Amino acid sequence: MNAYEANFDGLVGPTHNYAGLSYGNVASSNNRSLTSNPKLAALQGLEKMKTMRNLGLVQGVLPPHERPAVNELRALGFSGSDADILTKAAKQAPKLLASCCSAATMWTANAATVSPSLDTADGKVHLTPANLSNKFHRAMEHKTTRQVLQAVFNSERYFTHHEALPGIPQFGDEGAANYTRFCTDYHRPGVAFFVYGDNGFSSNERRPRPQRYPARQTREASEAIARQHQLACDRIVFAQQHPNVIDQGVFHNDVIAVGNKNLLFCHEHAFLHQRQVYEQLREAHTDSALSIVEVSDDQVSVSDAVSSYLFNSQLVTVNGKNTLIVPSECDANEKVARYLRWLTESHHTIDAVRSFDLRQSMKNGGGPACLRLRVVLTDAELAAVNPGSIMSDSLYQRLVQWVNDHYRDRLTEKDLADPQLLMESRNALDELTAIMQLGSVYDFQR
């Protein structure tokens, strides 16, 4: 049996903007109110998808959600026509309007947690959309996300779709950004590695926890997903992210660590009780030895890791070799660039590094790893995926043309109240549903 790790990247939406909505995400806060370029952002993402597909990897596409989310504004008391609602929200609650215009669904690492059929008791792929309850602009996503995932993974024979966990702080769930699967090979059972920021029900104030920024993922959420997905207890490891790095802007585990197959690449301060975490992973990963590449603070500081997004990279296998897909910010950071040269020349664990220009996404705090949801699929499961969501030369060309036809190359916060932007977005998504064979995933929002 063959199995593949498919990467489903999120298409950047037409309302891509810099509203600085994500407290705890340094880049999001630092670049607030800058003028964005949605067209360039979408084309940069598509170029990465095309390149990954050309490397021989299975590459999928997930569509953006409809924004502005007029249905959310209407539910919060604004009335009248869609244009009236946007005008009233801009005057009375501009921050709320900005939240309802966020294009954060592009970061599909937060879309869901996905467990392969090779790891689940019933032999099906399990998908749970993240509730993203820590931020209002993201907490509204899970309903559409579930609709999208059901349209893409649309066979009851192979896929089980769960509802999001309760949207309360104790079950805060940020999806696959805090989940890594280790395995000898994709067609073998794996180890599920869940990383959390804090315990949701703990009342012990002396317990190690971040003091400056919120811990978005709770242990309780990770445990609930492991139960839902019917994972074997002896092949699960739960680890707490180090509170000190959360307070330095490491809001998800994928900003400080990344793994693939039997390799973990992380900073020395990624986890609380790090040596113990390593031992637990090695004990659970019984099929083969787990390799760990640990980057010391002397080599790359947490600050440099956050500014360059060194660890928010994709670690993929290309022709049997480990390749690290990094943002171009790693080239611009002298210390990080020097480390990566040493890594490929001397370490012999990561064989190659490729960088991508994703500056439009990076300014909002999302690098290569944020833009993709990893889904391990067997041949039969891959054949059951909606073919309109699998990247090909023809789909790439159609999507590039679609972006050029519908997206603006300049967007400011003031533009979010423009009713024409809503119409442009709706027209674009209506055409996209036909291109990607998505059916009526957006109907309930209108």
What amino acid positions are annotated as catalytic residues? 174, 252, 370
Q: How does 388-400 read in b/e, with b if 16+ C-beta sit within 10 Å?
A: bbbbeeebbeebe
32 residue type, one letter: R
CA distances 227 to 121, 192, 258, 259, 286, Å, are 10, 12, 23, 22, 21
Asked if 30 contacts 379 with a C-beta cutoff of 8 angstroms, the reply is no
Asked if 59 contacts 428 with a C-beta cutoff of 8 angstroms, the reply is no
Chain mean position to CA 382: 21
φ, ψ for residue 159, nearest 5 deg: -125, 135
Q: CA 30, CA 9: separation in Å to the nearest integer? A: 25
In terms of DSSP bridges, do strands 321-327 and 314-318 run parallel, antiparallel, or are they unpaired?
antiparallel
Q: CA 145, CA 164: separation in Å to the nearest integer? A: 10
Q: CA 4, CA 378: separation in Å to the nearest integer? A: 6
Q: CA 126, CA 161: separation in Å to the nearest integer? A: 6
φ, ψ for residue 86, nearest 5 deg: -65, -40
Asked if 378 contacts 187 with a C-beta cutoff of 8 angstroms, the reply is yes
Asked if 133 contacts 215 with a C-beta cutoff of 8 angstroms, the reply is no
Residues 6+ apart with CB under 8 A from 391: 49, 50, 52, 53, 59, 60, 61
103 residue type, one letter: A
